[in-house]
Amino acid sequence: MKRFFAFGCSFTQYYWGTWADIIAANYPDWEYHNFGQIGGGNQLILNRVMQADEYYNFTSNDVVMVQWTNVSREDRWMYDNQGSERWSSGGNIYVNDFFKDFVERYTCPEGFYLRDLPAIKAVQSLLDYKQCYQEHFAMVPIEQLDQYKPSHTPPSDMIKHLLDIYKPNLDRLKPSYYTTLFNSNWFSRTPRPLNPFDSHLGIPNPDPHPTPYEHLLYLDTVAPELAINLATRALVEQETARLLVMFGVENWRKVGSLKELALNNTFNGKPLKGGGNGVIY
Amino acid sequence: MKKYDRIFAFGCSFTNYHWATWADIIAYSYPEARYYNMGLSGAGNELIYNRVMEADARYNFTKNDLVIVQWSGVMRESRWVNNETKPNGGWTHGGNVMLDRVYFDDKFVEKYVTMEGFHLRDLALVKAVNVLLDLKQPEHYNIAMVGIKYEQNFGDYASPELVKQLKPNYNMIDILMQKYQKTVKEIRPSFYDHILEPKRAIEPWHRPHVCTQREGIVNYDWHPTPYEHFTYLRDILPEVALAPDCDEVAQAEDKYVYDRFTVPADKIVKLRPGRFNLGKCTDMNFVKEYYNVQVKFGSFNPSKLGLLTFNRPEVIY
């Protein structure tokens, strides 16, 4: 049996179906492992790919797809505010209060690129070595430091230099969601579901994470060779319609909080389980 | 002897130091090969991994190359920062993060450091490097300053009290070591296990000295001396043949290192009794001069000294 491994951030493992779940639904005879992590950065992705290979021993019969995220994230295995040990993975570091003092003192754009570009090379090297079928997707263009806004200042010479050194690896990344699907504005597409865990004055904000339908559009655009069939397309449309109701304003008014719904949501009738599937950290 | 087109060495101060290391001894043995020493004092394994990846991206390792990676202590934090410690941008490379108070403070350690997290990070990086080298197939080896599992040895020492504050999750570390056992097996026995720990057990210690640059505090220097580096290569890495005169050159250079890197007793004032602190050097000019010396292997003749630079790559971050 073929095995399918997916790695990435919340664009890979979320409260509703993602590109990975769509591919899994399209190829039901593949053994499916989703190691995406909400808020995860490229260091977590690198780490989990390496762990997964230690555990599963990838072969040339495996399909491994990696969705790379923006570089300005910090993945550390540490204690959280509640005293539990886990990946810190709070997403974009510039909007994460936990890392405020850390960002000011210990980070700089050059450091992020110097750290993350080798991660892409390392993962590609492993998958080349193991001769897996591999795809590399991207949430934003790698040149974009902050996931929420395109950079208005040109990258420094050091960043340009690094992008040049690692160009052969970066050329293997598909165009990003941000540019191909969202036209460089996360809220350019409507309608948007509400974000179950992000609110302003008690009102949930619209959620920029792609709906299943938008994930399908992305796959059609950057990886048509995956040949998503009609049955899967129908499923995606159905799931998208369901989530727009579930995470819509009317439902929020009715139930008050969408968190419980998000945590128990399914795709294709199966629970959406993240966090390493219990066999890797 | 086998021929190499290029020799790439990666590591911390056990690779690139004031005096010749294992890397320089190998380079001396293969004078026709182009030699790149990418070691950096105080480097952690993140930096070492990073430089291996960058070196391959720049220089494209081939089957005719020799690549040796010397892994350092796990409890280090190498980051490229741009703050008052590195106003033009640079790596933090202050050794064990629990002790390094140049780049990090107690608050950082308390909030952001876990021993198991550092193992989780570094084991993946060691694997990543080995996969790359397996893919590109240069002749390659992994050696180590200390064992990859952080032990309470003095190799990259922090006191048991400091370690305890981290509340180490040894169970998780054991699971990780088990998970990565194939990767860990790639690493040869460490300098500390093979050379230094046995010497530490025999007192009085006979070592060169090291001086702190700012205060002139004098300590024993437990970096391997040239002859110890030679011994390590001879015993641990027999696959890499050394030039026939290496033994002789290393012995002579060792003598020079002991002469040059020993602070005379009349320049030391005792501070307080203790094993790890010989006192304070009374001559700060002497201390300053201490760091102006780099001894290139095979060039120990004092008349040739000064700032002898190794064959470093033009640009490497």
Residues of B in contact with A162 (CB under 8 A): 317
Residues of B in contact with A115 (CB under 8 A): 46, 50, 79-80
Contact A17, A267 (CB under 8 A): yes
Contact B253, B293 (CB under 8 A): no
Interface test with A, best of B52, B82, B316 (most A CBs within 10 A): B82
Highest mean pLDDT among A40-49, B23-32, B308-317: A40-49
Which amino acid appears at position B259 of this protein? D
- Contact between chains at B50 and A114 (C-beta distance less than 8 A): yes
Q: What angle do CA A53, A41, B171 make, to 5 degrees?
A: 55
Of B121, B129, B169, the CB nearest to A85: B169
Helix (H, G, I), strand (E, B) or coil at A195: strand
The two three-digit tokens of residue B8, written as one number? 């790439």
Of A47, A115, A129, the CB nearest to B134: A129
Which amino acid appears at position B2 of this protein? K
- Which has more confidence, A100 or B9? B9
Residues 83-122 of A with CB under 8 A from B: 85, 101-102, 105-108, 110-111, 114-115, 118, 121-122
Highest mean pLDDT among A6-15, A95-104, A266-275, B201-210: A6-15
Helix (H, G, I), strand (E, B) or coil at A122: helix
ipTM over 0.90: yes
- Which percentage of chain B shows pLDDT scores above 70? 90
pLDDT of B152 = 65
- Which percentage of chain A shows pLDDT scores above 70? 99
Model confidence at B314: pLDDT above 80: no
Model confidence at B315: pLDDT above 60: no
What is the Cα–Cα distance from A145 to B122, expressed in whole angstroms? 25
Model confidence at B93: pLDDT above 80: yes
The mean pLDDT of chain B is 89
- Contact between chains at B53 and A121 (C-beta distance less than 8 A): yes
- Average pLDDT on A156-182 reads 97
Model confidence at A216: pLDDT above 90: yes
Q: Crossing angle of helices B246-260/B22-29, nearest 10°?
A: 140
Would you tell me how many other CB atoms lie within 10 Å of the CB of residue A168? 11
Q: Picking from A10-14, A55-59, B19-23, which range would have the lowest pLDDT averaged per residue?
A: B19-23
What is the Cα–Cα distance from A137 to A114, expressed in whole angstroms? 20
pLDDT of A242 = 97
Task: Kindly report, residue by residue over A222-271, the tens digit of the pLDDT.
Answer: 999 999 999 999 999 999 999 999 999 999 999 999 999 999 999 999 99
Task: Kindly report, residue by residue over B272-294, the tens digit of the pLDDT.
Answer: 766 567 899 998 888 887 777 66
Q: How does DSSP assign A216-280, residue by residue?
A: HHHHHHH-GGG---HHHHHHHHHHHHHHHHHTSHHHHHHHS--HHHHHT-EETTEE---GGGGT-
List residues of B whose CB lies inside 8 A of any A CB.
Answer: 46, 49-50, 53-54, 56-58, 79-83, 89, 107-108, 111-114, 116-117, 120-121, 123-124, 127-129, 131-132, 134-135, 169, 172, 176, 179-180, 182-183, 317
Taking only Cα atoms into account, the Rg of chain A, rounded to an integer number of angstroms, comes to 18
Of B79, B131, B176, the CB nearest to A129: B131
- Which has more confidence, B103 or B155? B103
What is the Cα–Cα distance from B260 to A277, expressed in whole angstroms? 57
pLDDT of B298 = 62
Q: What are residue A81's DSSP bridge partners?
A: none
pLDDT interval class at A202 (50, 70, 90): confident
Task: Kindly report, residue by residue over B95-152, the tens digit of the pLDDT.
Answer: 999 999 999 999 999 999 999 999 999 999 999 999 999 999 999 999 999 999 998 6
Peptide bond into A191 cis (omega under 30): yes
Look up the pTM and report it.
Answer: 0.94
- Average pLDDT on A155-168 reads 96
What is the Cα–Cα distance from A109 to A145, expressed in whole angstroms? 7
pLDDT of B300 = 45
Left, alpha or beta for B134 (phi > 0: left; psi -120 to 50: alpha)? alpha
